[in-house]
Amino acid sequence: AMDEINARGEMPIIVRQIKYLNNIVEQDHRAIKRVTKPMLNFKSFRAAKNVLAGIELMHMIRKGQLLLEGGIKLSFADQFYVLSGQIRPV
């Protein structure tokens, strides 16, 4: 099936198999489920998208995956305030 798609497409699709990739994805998904489970249903797709983007951003900051210009090391709270464009209260 992949050969047929690659024959038609401009950019070939490469299949990479990583044995434990599913476990890594599920670990990240577990954190999202833990936050969203107490919430009732989202009223719109837009609201769900915004909430999930915020949750993902917080997890990226916590895991140290956010890189700021100049390689400055900031605390978790300071990174959040930089992203939101606010000044951190003293």
For the chain, give every domain's residue range: 2-84
Model confidence, pTM: 0.53
Say what the pLDDT of residue 89 is: 67
> pLDDT per residue over 5-41, tens digit each?
888 877 787 777 777 777 777 777 788 888 888 887 8
* 3 state SS of 72: coil
DSSP for 8-71 reads H-SS-------TTHHHHHHHHHHHHHHHHTTS---SSHHHHHHHHHHHHHHHHHHTT----GGG
Contact call for residues 33 and 13 (beta carbons, < 8 A): no
Say what the pLDDT of residue 90 is: 64
Distance in Å from the first CA to the final CA of the chain: 59
